[in-house]
Each structure stands twice: as C-alpha cells, then as structure tokens.
Structure 1
Amino acid sequence: MALPASLVFFIIFYFGTNPVIALPEPTGPYPVSFTDILDQTGRNGTFFRIYYPTEQYDSDDIKFPAWMEPEYFEMIKFFMPAIKQLPSSIPLNLPLLLPTNITKLPIVVFSHGLLLSKGSYSFICSDVASYGYLVAAVDHKDGSAAGSLYYEKNNASDKDLIRKSFAYQYVPFGSDEERIKSREQVEIRVQDLSKVMNLLERLDQGQLTNLYYPDFNLKQFEGKLLLSKTAVMGHSHGGATALVSLIKDDRFKVAIIQDPWMLAVDEKYIGEKIEQPIMIINCIGEIIKYDILKIRQLDGDVTGVSAERIMVTLLGSTHFTQTDFAFFPRSFHQSINFTATVEPELSNAINTKLMLATLRKHLNLTGNKEIAPILSGYQPYVIMGTDVGVSEAEILEAKRKVVLKTKEE
C-alpha cells in the first residue's frame, strides 16, 4: 500500500532481499530519535525504549534499525506468517535536543498489547514525542509480549554477557484460562510500569546505566525530565494495564486508554476511587458490550469522584489501527482481517490530536486542550461515546451492581 508523500519517509532499505518501507514521519514540529535501555542482567531486568526530540538529521548519515528484535519477529511470524516486510524505525541514538522554551520533557509511559512489544507502536510513540515529550515504552515480563530480551552473565563480569529472551506464552483464546491468566498478567505489567518510572527517576538523576547501549550517553537526560507531569497510556492488554496502574501508582496523573481489553481488569478494581482523569479512544470490532459496560462502571456517579471520563470512537478503524500494523501492506491486512475503511493516516491524525489535547489539559501544558473542536473538525470519522449497541438501562444496571457491591464490602 502506497503511503501519502506528505507523511512518509521515502527511505527504502533492504532486509535480506525484502524491501522495508518506512513508517509515517512523526507529525509534530520536532524530529525524534530513540534508544533502548536494559538496566540489569537476568530475567528481572527491565528492557524499555525511550523516544525523545532530537536535532535535524540527514537520513543518509544515520542508522535506521530494524523495527523489531529478531527474537521477537520470529515469534510474531509464527502467529502471523503473512508478514513479509518490516517497516523501518526512527533513527537510533541521536542526541537529545530540547525544544525551544522547554527546559524539561513531560513523560508518557506506554504499555503494549498482547503478542506485541515496545516497538510495535513506534508511530504513536514517536508522534507524541515529536510534540515535545519523552515517551517510554516497555517490553512486559508477563509472557504476553512477542518476546522479552535480557542478558545473563557469562562469568562474574557485566562485560561478558549472553543475549537471551523468553517468548510469548500462548493461552487459548476465549477460555477460562485466558481470563485468569490475563488478570494475573496485568498485576505483573503494572509492576513493569512502576519499574520504568523508577528508572526514569534514576535517568533524571544521572544515575542510570545501560547494558544494551553502554556507549550511548544517558547523562544528557540528567535534569531534563518533568517527572511531576507523567501520563500512562496503553493499547488493548496495555489499556487494561494503564487503567489498573492508576490505582497502583499515583505518579501517573492521567491515563489514555486505547481499545482496552476489559476482560483483563479484575473485578476487584471495579468500583475503586480512581482520582485521575481517563480518556478512552476506541476503535471498531474488538470492543464489545461487556467492555463498554465495564468502562461505564468507572464513571464518577458510581465511584464518587469528579475526575473526567471521556470515551470516543474512531469510525472506520480496526483494533490494529493504533498499532504499526496499520501501515503494513494491504496483503498483510487481508491475512489478519484488517478491514479498516478509513486510511490509517487519517485515523491516527485524529488519535494523536485527542491524545495531545488530553495530555495538555490534565498535565497543565500549553497548546489546544479541548476535544470538541477535534470531534467537530473530523466528522464523520470520530464520535463521542461508542458505536456498540448498549442501552441506558443496561448501563444503569451495570452501575447499580457496582454500588451494591461497594455497600456490601
């Protein structure tokens, strides 16, 4: 599928004999680079990626690494054999360059979906970063990721390391085992996000070392992070993770939840007083009545909080629209029943504008903070609420159950 010239790097390089087509260029005013960070050896090490603003660059003189680590790609290919091409990533390990009039970068911590990884949302993460944010995306350690890379010591020295990874742990879809496992995974995933926050604090203190790219200068981030203005974001399984993380870690001031897999949210969390605002951006197809009712149980009239709750739906989209898969060739889309009727560039433009307005409003940052002009300006491609058929009576009954449960407790 040819991508519009105004949005795409016309950088084509070769991965073996297959051409690799670049993802859309970030839409913000600042170029973006990234680095991958691994904090320690062993399976408990946290492997995450930070996207950040950088200087203008000449694409002929920099490195565009593969979209995904080879270990992860082999696992995804096992489940999605139609993958023949890989998109190129944004450039690797360029220097941090703070935008004009910005002394510190607000933070977004991102949680990936099932069978994916920290790099599977390169466009969304780099797009947000291009507006002057640091975005940190983690590979989860719960068995839900395409892989999770780590190093083991070959001897007593950190200089001699063996590269290893553990792969996705398959659970039958639609089974009781899936429900139980997904909720267990969320507990681990939330811990992963808190670990990333701990490491970002160390990064801001100039105390973080990196086993993965030991020669890349992390000291340049010292004192450059606006830790008091941190959001959490996630897609699908990551959406459930982002939601629960609001309960577990008050360093997250707002959540942007994309197409959340609400089955993975344990019932014990429904009715919790979540004081932070929540924006839910849904696509079409995966979100069902169960998800909508569970989301509406988070409303303020149920839990007694005044924090904002907004839900919108991107029409003509699919569950994959908010991932990098949206920009894969049409043949791949057909293999996974990707039936979006709106071009991914348009859906993701709306998605980014909604995310930025939410971040600016609730982190008290400059720029447009209102979503109403976005909704009116992009009709008929986005609506307030949901396209799923749910009656007010069903919503009221779902809310009543939570109120009764809370009273019983």
Structure 2
Amino acid sequence: MRLFEMLLVLSCFALLVDLLFIKRSAKKIGLGLGIGSSVILLVQLFVEGYRWQLLLVYIMTALFILIVLFRHSEKMVNLKIGKFLKYSLSSLIVILLVVSTGLSVYLPVFNLPKLDGPEKVGTQTFHFTDQNRDEVLTEDQSDKRELMVQVWYPTENSNNNKREPLFPKDKEMFKKYIQTYSSSLNLPDFVFNYWKYSKTNSYENVEILPSTSPYPVVLLSHGMGTSRVLHASQAENLASHGFIVVTIDHTYSTFATIFPDGRVTDYITKMTKIDDRSKVGDIWTKDVEFVINQIENLNSGVIESQFKGKIDLNNMGVMGHSFGGATAFNTTYLDPRIKAGVNMDGSLYKVKNRDDINKPFMFIRSGSFKEWLVDFKKDKNSDDEITKQLSDELHIMKNVINQGGNVIYIEGTQHFNFTDLQFYSELIKLTGITGDINGKKGSSIVNQYVLDFFNKQLKGTGGNLIQGPNDMYPEVKFIEPEEL
C-alpha cells in the first residue's frame, strides 16, 4: 500500500475507536481526529489518486468524520442505541474495512523494482513498418507487418524528468489499452484502472549517456499472448548496467499493442496445431531480424535518432521468455549478427538441424524442470511427434552445455516468474503460474544471471555466476550433460 493509503486506513479505524470508546466530552481528541483524517483523505484522493479497492474505506472515513465532528456540536442530539446493535454494526463495519484494505493490499499499486546498476535509464519508443513483408495474421491483403519497439538505454537524465508510467499515460490510449485486457478477461474496465499509477524507473526521450565506446545491445521478445510491458524490469536492469535493450511487441500475438495513431491490436494468433508453432515462430524470427535491420539504420543514421554511432553492432545478443525464448534460440542460430542468446523457460518450436549451434547460449528453466526431466526420461520411448521433438530439444541443450553454454533451473519458480506479472499481485501465486519464491527475489535472480551471461559474452567481463553453483543463489541449479 502507498503511504497515504495506509494512513487513511489507520485514521478510519481511529475514528471508529473514537466513536465507540472515547467520551463525547473529549472534544479536542474528536476534533483533532476529524480534521487530521479529512486532510489525509483529501491528500490520498488528489495526490496519490483514487482507486476502487479503497471505496469502502473512503465512504466510511467520510461518514465517520461527519459523525465525529457533529457529535461534539452543542446542537447534536445524544442518541443512544443498545449495546447489541452498537457492536453488531461496529463488527460489520470492521469486516467491510478489512475487506477493502485486503483488496488494496493484494491488488496493489505496484512499481517496478529499483535498479541495481550504476546508471539511470532512458526509454524511447519506435513504430516500424516492414514494407517488404505482408501481414499474414490479418485478412486485409494490403497490410504490412507493423511493430512497436521500445528502446532502453543508459542516461544522465540531466533535466530531472519524472519517471514514466508503466502503461500508456495518454488517457484515451490508456482507456483503450485496459479495455482490451478487460474484454479478454470478461471483466469491467474499472478493475484495471488503478494500473495508471504504476511507475517504471525510466525517463522518456532523454539523452543517451555519453560514452567513449558504443553500447552492446540485447533484443528481448515476450511470450505468446503477453507483451513487452511484462519485461520492462528486465530491460531496465540491463540498461542500468550499460546495455541498450530493445523490446519488441510481436503484433497480433500480444494481449494488447497500442500504436501512435491510437489503434490497439489484441491477440488473434492461431496456435491450434503443431505446425502453427513453426509458422508463427518464423514470423517472430523475421520480426527480430527486421528489428536488427532497424537497429543498424539507427546506428548508421539512416533513421535519424540520438543512437547514431552509439550501438555496438559487433556485440548483439537476444533473449526471450516462453515462445519469445524459443524465438531467441532460433534467431541466435540463424542470424550471424547475433553473438549470444538466452531462452527463459521456452520450449523450442524449431529443433531440426539446430543441434550444431556453436554460439554461447543459456537456457533458464523454471523449478519444475528437473522433475519434468525425470518423468520424461521414463516415458521417452514413445514414438509420438511431441515426444520426439522434446527429445531433440534435450539433445540441443546437451550440445549447448558441451559448447560452453548453460542449462540452469531456479527452484521455487514457475513459468511467469520470468516476467513482471509476479509484481502485479500476490494472488497470482494461487493460479500456479508463478511459484512460491518471493517475486522480487525471483526477478533479481533471473536478472543477475542474465546480466552475468551478457557481461561475459558481449562485454568480456564477469561470468562468475554462470561458471557453476554459487552459495549466494542456492535456488539456482546447473544441469550437467549426462542428466539430459
């Protein structure tokens, strides 16, 4: 809970205590509580901002303030009610206040974790259209493939700009954005309205930090049906350590993507057959390759921007989560411009002729991987297509380790611990898509290992964590080739 939200809840309970237990003659106490609570209520509403989870607290606080102030008025009639009714009403009020407070705690206004790198972070968003590629996910044959791309980079922020909101700050765009979420989940729009208060640690359109050498770059792909928004903390963390990070929204495969003209696209990708995975994977791989082309244009000045000459094209990496992780592997294998890659808990969609990958790569899997591996090896003699593909994937992982790469898993995590979804609410754990590990701790562990990997492969520094087990992170387990 935010500061004035906590103060508001405390003042509301204090007012209730005053009404129940403080004598009417204690005028100074009552007036002090009434005036103080009024100030807290106004500051919370107009500075921090209203949110629906605290509606009952707002109503009760306003009502208690009026009663407390008027009960000390000489014109106020001294009404007496029976103890049973008095304490029954009080119990009901307390229950309602606890429910409202609980909603505000478990559906919080969250901010992204503080940066642990030495640099501040700037961000800039680009709208790119691939005129050489038709959009195959829509019915309009004239459509070209459009992508929204967000760049994160080190900055001084010398103008002291305010931190950017996580979601679109334009009111109309934000409204369209949350309408896409709410309609997909069959919930009313207001449920997500409080997201407008969530902040990143980044500053929009500020100047890139001057450097004597260009910055290495990492491209980042989200998972199927999510978006680049769910990887903002990972992008910020790498940028705070001296990387340029480029996050991609794979249009029509996101929960929502908003374009500069106000269009909002949602999820329409079909993934009903095994072949669909490969077809969509090809689209995503081409997305990443196209964005690499645009990065080259930014660096050369073909696209006018502040990034001219600031990007180290000889040290480019790619990472992703889930389907985006599989895309990171596929792009690393196919594109000679990519030097190293990371797959965060993504099952591969392309395994044929991929086992001879000779670039540094790291697979990071969730905590259930070891158990799944044991069960799979018991039943791996099955002849079905899925079993064959998984067997080939394990063979690829084995080759990655033999080539000096890594396959690790993190105990206590589940699939969505590799995204920012774990910060949205503790209630998400009940669904099983995030694990028992504390969200910020799990995020920090992933960030540290990704940073260590890219530091070594793209900067030639660090690499201590990926050498093997570390007492600082007992949750991280390394897989040996013979286990696969």
- Identify the TM-score tier after normalising by the shorter chain: 0.7 to 0.9
Contact (CA 8 Å) 2:428, 2:434: kept in 1 or not?
Answer: no
Match status 1:276 vs 2:359: yes
Sequence identity (%): 22
- 1:324 alignment partner in structure 2: 420
- 2:123 alignment partner in structure 1: 34
- 1:181-213 Cα offsets, whole Å, 9 max, x none, are 22211100000001111111111122225xxxx
Match status 1:222 vs 2:308: yes
Contact (CA 8 Å) 1:75, 1:168: kept in 2 or not?
Answer: no
Following superposition of structure 1 onto structure 2, how do residues 51-66 of structure 1 map, counting pairs within 5 Å?
51-56=152-157, 61-62=161-162, 64-66=164-166
- 1:402 alignment partner in structure 2: none
Match status 1:204 vs 2:299: yes
- 1:250 alignment partner in structure 2: 336
Question: What SS does structure 1 have at the residue aligned with 2:416?
Answer: coil
- 2:207 alignment partner in structure 1: 96
Which of 244, 256, 276 matches 1:147?
256
- 2:438 alignment partner in structure 1: 343
Q: Which amino acid is 2:360 matched to? A: P
Following superposition of structure 1 onto structure 2, how do residues 365-376 of structure 1 map, counting pairs within 5 Å?
365-366=460-461, 368-371=462-465, 375-376=469-470
Following superposition of structure 1 onto structure 2, how do residues 31-180 of structure 1 map, counting pairs within 5 Å?
31-40=120-129, 43-56=144-157, 61-62=161-162, 64-67=164-167, 70=174, 71-80=176-185, 84=192, 85-86=194-195, 87-98=198-209, 102-141=212-251, 143-150=252-259, 162-169=261-268, 171=270, 177-180=272-275
Which of 430, 447, 453 matches 1:352?
447
Compute the TM-score of the two structures, normalised by the length of structure 1. 0.75
- 2:43 alignment partner in structure 1: none
C-alpha distance in 2 between matches for 1:284 and 1:73: 32
For residue 54 of structure 1, report the CA deviation from its aligned partner.
1.3
Q: Which amino acid is 2:335 matched to? A: D
CA 81–254 in structure 1, closer or farther in 2 if over 3 Å, else same: farther
C-alpha distance in 2 between matches for 1:358 and 1:299: 16
* Gaps in structure 1 of 5+ consecutive residues: 3-11, 152-161, 210-217, 396-409
Question: What SS does structure 2 have at the residue aligned with 1:376?
Answer: coil
C-alpha distance in 2 between matches for 1:338 and 1:113: 13
- 1:13-63 Cα offsets, whole Å, 9 max, x none, are 54875773211122111111211101349642331000111125787x525
C-alpha distance in 1 between matches for 2:273 and 2:234: 28
Question: What SS does structure 2 have at the residue aligned with 1:201?
Answer: helix
C-alpha distance in 1 between matches for 2:313 and 2:454: 14
Contact (CA 8 Å) 1:144, 1:185: kept in 2 or not?
Answer: no
For residue 149 of structure 1, report the CA deviation from its aligned partner.
4.0
Q: Which amino acid is 1:91 matched to? A: S
- 1:360-403 Cα offsets, whole Å, 9 max, x none, are 2222433x2122577323343111129xxx985xx4xxxxxxxx
Larger helix share, 1 or 2: 2
Contact (CA 8 Å) 1:72, 1:146: kept in 2 or not?
Answer: no
Contact (CA 8 Å) 2:157, 2:203: kept in 1 or not?
Answer: no
C-alpha distance in 2 between matches for 1:79 and 1:178: 22
C-alpha distance in 1 between matches for 2:363 and 2:110: 30
Contact (CA 8 Å) 1:240, 1:260: kept in 2 or not?
Answer: yes
Q: Which amino acid is 2:329 matched to? A: L
Contact (CA 8 Å) 1:326, 1:344: kept in 2 or not?
Answer: yes
For residue 351 of structure 1, report the CA deviation from its aligned partner.
1.3
C-alpha distance in 1 between matches for 2:48 and 2:469: 38
Q: Which amino acid is 2:248 matched to? A: V
- 1:103-131 Cα offsets, whole Å, 9 max, x none, are 21100001110111122101111111110
* Gaps in structure 2 of 5+ consecutive residues: 3-46, 54-107, 132-142, 377-386
- 2:25 alignment partner in structure 1: none
C-alpha distance in 1 between matches for 2:392 and 2:128: 36
Question: What SS does structure 2 have at the residue aligned with 1:39?
Answer: strand
Q: Which amino acid is 1:47 matched to? A: M
C-alpha distance in 1 between matches for 2:233 and 2:364: 16
CA 300–312 in structure 1, closer or farther in 2 if over 3 Å, else same: closer
C-alpha distance in 2 between matches for 1:201 and 1:277: 22
Which of 286, 295, 309 matches 2:393?
295
- 1:206-239 Cα offsets, whole Å, 9 max, x none, are 2225xxxxxxxx2x21111111100010000001
Structure number with larger C-alpha Rg? 2
CA 76–183 in structure 1, closer or farther in 2 if over 3 Å, else same: farther
C-alpha distance in 1 between matches for 2:451 and 2:263: 37
For residue 88 of structure 1, report the CA deviation from its aligned partner.
2.3
Compute the TM-score of the two structures, normalised by the length of structure 2. 0.64
- 2:34 alignment partner in structure 1: none
Contact (CA 8 Å) 1:110, 1:234: kept in 2 or not?
Answer: yes
C-alpha distance in 2 between matches for 1:74 and 1:64: 21
Which of 110, 113, 116 matches 1:24?
113
C-alpha distance in 1 between matches for 2:222 and 2:144: 19
Question: What SS does structure 2 have at the residue aligned with 1:114?
Answer: coil
C-alpha distance in 2 between matches for 1:149 and 1:286: 35
For residue 318 of structure 1, report the CA deviation from its aligned partner.
1.4
Q: Which amino acid is 1:164 matched to? A: R
Contact (CA 8 Å) 2:416, 2:434: kept in 1 or not?
Answer: no
Contact (CA 8 Å) 1:244, 1:269: kept in 2 or not?
Answer: no
RMSD across aligned positions (CA): 3.3
